[in-house]
Amino acid sequence: MSQKRRIIIDTDPGQDDAVAIMLALGSPELEVTGITAVAGNVPLKLTEKNARKICELAGRPEIKVYAGAVRPLMRHLVTAEEVHGKTGLNGPELPEPRMKLQDEHAVDFIVRTLMHEESGTITLCPLGPLTNIALALIREPKIAPRIKEIVLMGGGFFEGGNVTPAAEFNIYVDPHAADIVLRSGVPIVMMPLDVTHKALTSAKRTQAIRALGTRVGEATAQMLEFFERFDEEKYGTDGGPLHDPCVIAYLLKPDLFKGRSCNVTVETASELTMGMTVIDWWGVTKRPKNALVMRHIDSDGFFALLTERLGRL
Ligand code: RIB
Ligand code: CA
């Protein structure tokens, strides 16, 4: 096999984050160099614990988990217990983690890794608010040209927002961090709601995961059955959008996705549209094309890949 692709997953688990992490851990093409937790769906003390629970569920207690920012750069933390439950990982009963949290701060880990490892060999995969990534870029601007790519879940345009009519949760929670990342010059691949809302769970797809007959399969099915109810009620769909695993699936099978390079600019002033990602899909401005924005997904192919890889854990 060719060289494994080395990734750092920055995350606010969250059931969909959990599935993304397990997809990565079940894929031999990837090396998870570290997992950095950020405040988002639930407060940091829960997101870092949930990240460790997921690593142990996946049978990978050696993965290094770091705690990062406890709140956004400028704004108060907004969480999403109504979607993810009080623990952030409602659904399965998972034991308290035994693996230790790393002492090093997540931002220091990101900077140290990018400065020490060969330039262009580390991909950042943010699945939550971009606070840790922005702080790393501020702490050491020299990391920007050394980052191979940032593949992130966040934003929305044709689909609108999910936390306000204009903004998607990850960007809304820390729009200033998103602005720093979008202006960083680092190659960005963006998975907005426009594509993740087409990666819908369903009873059939969840049943295929449960039919794996493993602890991971059962726990994942329970996570999805809890997680999907909120969006099913809100959107009247059969199933909920599996946002974060789209990031990992792109690394494994980019052809599952279709999109185009666009300018993406984020609102950081107006309270009405705070956190809105203004995506110039039709190229009507001369603003630089700073992100490859995905809009379409082969959802059957996505779920087939996900189920097969979860089956390896
Ligand atoms: O808006 C969806 C995003 O917000 C996902 O990453 C979900 O986990 C939450 O963080
Ligand atoms: Ca997330």
Domains contained in the chain, CATH given = 5-310 (3.90.245.10)
Ligand nearest to the backbone CA of 81? 1
Going by DSSP bridges, is the β-strand pair 188-191/291-297 parallel, antiparallel, or unpaired? parallel
The candidate with the shortest Cα–Cα distance to 64, out of 36, 37, 34, is 34
**From start to end of 85-130, where are the E strands?**
122-126
**Has residue 117 got a pLDDT over 80?**
yes
280 lines ligand 1 (CB under 6 A): no
Q: Are 114 and 3 in contact (CB under 8 A)?
A: no
Q: Which atom belonging to ligand 1 lies closest to the Cα atom of 84?
A: 8
16 lines ligand 1 (CB under 6 A): yes
Predicted pLDDT at 236: 86
User: What is the per-residue burial (b if ≥16 Cβ within 10 Å, else e) of 67-99?
Assistant: bbbebbbebebbbbeebbbeebbbbbebeebeb
Q: Are 99 and 56 in contact (CB under 8 A)?
A: yes
Predicted pLDDT at 1: 54
Look over the chain and give the mean of its residue pLDDT values, rounded to a whole number.
97
Predicted pLDDT at 230: 84
> Does residue 35 sit in helix, strand or coil?
strand
Is the overall model pTM greater than 0.95, yes or no?
A: yes
Lookup: tokens for 260: 């185009």
**Has residue 229 got a pLDDT over 90?**
no
Predicted pLDDT at 231: 85
- pLDDT single digits (tens) 136-145: 999 999 999 9
Side chain identity at residue 242, one-letter code: L
* Residue 193 CB coordination number (10 Å): 23
Q: Are 145 and 119 in contact (CB under 8 A)?
A: yes
Lookup: tokens for 185: 């010059």
Ion ligand 2 nearby residues (CB, 5 A): 12, 14, 17, 127-128, 244
Tell me the pLDDT band of 228, cut-offs 50, 70 and 90: confident
- C-alpha 191/C-alpha 151 separation (Å) is 8
For the chain, percent of residues with pLDDT exceeding 70: 100
The candidate with the shortest Cα–Cα distance to 210, out of 225, 231, 226, 230, is 225
> Does residue 241 sit in helix, strand or coil?
strand
Q: Is the dihedral of CA 123, 125, 129, 132 positive or negative?
A: negative
Q: Kindly report the protein residue whose alpha carbon is nearest to atom 2 of ligand 1.
A: 169
88: left (phi over 0), alpha (psi -120 to 50) or beta: left
> What spacing in Å lies between the alpha carbon of 11 and ligand 2's midpoint?
6
In the predicted model, what is the mean pLDDT of residues 119-126?
Answer: 98
